[in-house]
Structure 1
Amino acid sequence: MPPSTAIQPKLEEDETALETVEDVPVNKITSFNGRLQQFLHNGTEAHETPSSSRTTLSQRRINTTKAEYERQAEPIISSPRRKRTVPPTAPTTTATHRRTTRSKSTLIATSPSPSKRRRSTATPQIPPTPPIASPSATESLLRDTIPPNLILLLVGVNPGIMTGVTGYAYAHPSNLFWKLLYSSGITSIRHIPADTYKLPALYRVGNTNIVERPTRDASMLSRAEMDAGVPVLEAKVAAQRPEVVCLVGKSIWEAVWRVRHGRGIRKEEFRYGWQSETENMGRGDDWAGAPVFVATTTSGLAAGMKPAEKEAVWAELGSWVVKRRQERGLNSVVVKEI
């Protein structure tokens, strides 16, 4: 082919392409008088027109966006990992609701109403148990032993609880009464409380109290009770006329003194042992009365005196009793009966 013929079509083709580029609106300031726009359009695919390039890019972007959306939306919904990270928002299942309802109903059923709670906490009404047969607070089973012709009448304050229940004088194990009777010689052996009613026959020794009401301790008696028992005691002595009256405890003599003298006994006026003849008890028109001997208390709760001091006071009384019993010729009888 001649060179002129081959070159001619090519030039015509370039001119057509140039005319096509020149048809595009160009901003000559920002594109270097159209040259940059020309350069860009020359590098595009197979002489695509500007309109077709824009349409292709827009369609490609739309297609890409749709593909990415479909690709991204699918893993979010179906990925197990995404499901683990997102907290469950599903409503409570029927089984869980059933368990919760059952728990609430159980609590409601087991919690008592206010009225029922008051009835459950109330103390049950138990019928009272009949009391055991025993003396009341103002009664004692102990009885006086004051037969006629006694050598010695022992006067206590009042029965203790055990004495009131058993009926035996000075029945509490801690009481020193029976020990002091033996150590002083008033009794030839150490008797037990159950021998209370044997003493008059064996030794001509009797027993009574200034107050009959039993208490745990003599300090529980009032002064009025003690004073009220003095005239009663005086009447007993006057009726039975024992040779000697022994007051077992300082408080008894203090009560007798208050009633007789209208005042309390002073410290310098009190003494253990034999008292003045003017203080004899049970005095009458034809009888001078019984001499009074004040002995120590025998209660185990009283710790004002030592045991040796108590024994010394009781020994003074015991020596007189032994002597008087010998004078009356009663020793042989006592030994035989023991």
Structure 2
Amino acid sequence: MRAKTAEEEVPKLSPRKDQASDTEPTATVPTTASFKGQLLRFQYNSTTSASDDASPKSPVSVRSPKRTRTAVTIAATTDDGLTEPSPRPQKKRKSSSYAPSSRYAHLSPLVDILEPNLICVFVGTNPGVQTATAGHAYAHPSNHFWKLLHASGLTDRRLSPTEDRSLPAKYCMGNTNIVSRPSKNAAELSKEEMVAGAGELEAKFREFRPEAVCIVGKGIWEAIWKYRKGRAVRKEEFRYGWQDEEMNMGKIDGEESSPGSRVFVTTSTSGLAANLRPAEKEAIWRPFGEWVQKRREERGFVPRKEEGSVQKK
């Protein structure tokens, strides 16, 4: 027999199954290549595959877990040597801003501007420090009372606070407060004295019998409501403007000819009351101004000279 050559003794090798079919070698080895060439071919493929598997992988940065906040507990030592957590400190409530009347004892209460059978009487909260010092109603420059009186037609011009006592003679109007003592602001009054002041108002209106009462501010009406009904006014029960006849003030029991004074609730005139815009306040005040003008005409009211005033020549 003829001895087999070295090329014939080389077994035919098939490509690896894990070799990708779409991988093309960089060099093509002819079929007539030597035994060493064929080995190099497969060595090349093996090396390529191995290099893919053995290629160093880029390090993956692992984010450290977020630091958890640990609750700080202040421990207190008991008599027996054990420790127990101290209670969490509680927020202290701010003390009420109520101020006793003695704080403003050096100030005099404001004089009521009242006389019988006026068309209307305005009811404020109480005199502020500047008002009490000046001795005239709504004297603080930031208060819009005199401005709103003019804008709503209640006065024919903007009056000065020093002209407050001319209201009955010139316009058939008056002024009083639910609380007589002065304070820096309404927060320094107690709810109890506000409610008690409502009872004093009833007595004044039974005596002077104005046609209408204008409540200057929601807080005043809430105190009157509580005095009359023994409870707070509900949100759905409150409204600006004319109130129901049952809420007339200054009624005299058993006297049919005295139905009491009609009640109109309007906005506060304080410069601190910014819950409504100036135009919104004027819109609430205007219907009352129109009603007062109409009543002056129906009565044939004629302004008179103030007592003690000097008539200019």
TM-score, scaled to structure 2: 0.62
Higher Cα Rg, which structure: 1
Equivalent residue for 1:303, pick from 265, 274, 277: 274
Code of the residue aligned with 1:204 in structure 2: it is C
Superposition deviation, residue 269 in structure 1:
0.3
**CA deviation profile, 1:118-159 (whole Å, cap 9, x unmatched):** xxxxxxxxxxxxxxxxx9437434200110120010000000
Establish whether residue 323 from structure 1 lines up as the match of residue 294 from structure 2: yes
Aligned length: 202
- Alpha-carbon offset, residue 331 of structure 1: 5.1
1:242·1:290 contact (CA, 8 Å) conserved in 2? yes
Note if 1:207 corresponds to 2:175.
yes
Distance 1:172 1:314, change over 3 A: same
User: Could you say which residue in structure 1 is the equivalent of 2:188?
Assistant: 220
Aligned pairs (5 A) from 1:1-338: 136-137=104-105, 139-284=107-252, 285-286=254-255, 287-330=258-301
Distance 2:250 2:276 in 1: 30
Structure 1: gaps (5+ residues) = 1-134
Query: What CA distance in whole angstroms lies between the structure 2 residues aligned with 1:319 and 1:179?
Result: 16
Structure 1 residues 332 and 283: CA distance shift in structure 2, 3 A: closer
Could you give the per-residue CA deviations for residues 206-260 of structure 1, whole angstroms, max 9, x where no partner exists?
A: 0000001111111221101101101100000000000000110001110011111
Which has the higher relative contact order, 1 or 2, with Cα contacts under 8 A spaced 6 or more apart? 2
CA deviations on 1:69-117 (whole Å, 9 max, x unpaired) are xxxxxxxxxxxxxxxxxxxxxxxxxxxxxxxxxxxxxxxxxxxxxxxxx
Q: Residues of 2 paired with 1:304 and 1:167: CA distance?
A: 28
Distance 2:224 2:128 in 1: 21
Is the Cα–Cα contact under 8 Å of residues 205 and 249 in structure 2 kept in the other structure? yes
Shift of 1:297: 0.3
**Structure 1 length normalisation: TM-score?**
0.57
In 1, the alpha carbon distance for the partners of 2:105 and 2:266 equals 27
Alpha-carbon separation, structure 2, partners of 1:139 and 1:150: 28
Consecutive aligned runs of 4 or more in structure 1 exceeding 3 Å deviation: 135-139, 331-334
CA distance in 2, matches of 1:265, 1:332: 39
The 3 A distance-change label for structure 1 pair 139 and 236 is: farther
Deviations 1:23-56 (A, max 9, x none): xxxxxxxxxxxxxxxxxxxxxxxxxxxxxxxxxx
1:175·1:299 contact (CA, 8 Å) conserved in 2? Answer: yes
Output the CA distance in 1 between the equivalents of 2:285 and 2:106.
Answer: 31
Q: Which has the higher helix share?
A: 1
Q: Please say if residues 138 and 213 of structure 1, whose CA atoms lie closer than 8 Å, have aligned partners that are also in contact.
A: no
Q: Secondary structure of the equivalent of 1:201? A: helix
Residues 138, 214 of structure 1: 8 Å contact kept: no
Contact 1:247 1:253 in 2 (8 A): yes
- Within 2, Cα distance between the matches of 1:305 and 1:214? 26
Structure 1 residues 185 and 258: CA distance shift in structure 2, 3 A: same
Distance (Å, rounded) in 2 between the aligned partners of 1:315 and 1:299: 18
- How many angstroms apart in 2 are the aligned matches of 1:317 and 1:140? 31
Identity fraction in percent: 55
Give the drift of 1:264: 0.5
Q: What are the ranges of 5 or more consecutive residues in structure 2 without an aligned counterpart?
A: 1-102, 306-310
What is the rounded CA distance, in whole Å, between the counterparts of 1:218 and 1:138 in structure 2? 18
C-alpha displacement at 1:333, in angstroms? 5.8
Rounded to whole Å, the distance in 1 between the matches of 2:244 and 2:213 is: 13
Distance 2:296 2:193 in 1: 35
In the alignment, residue 215 of structure 1 is paired with which amino acid? S
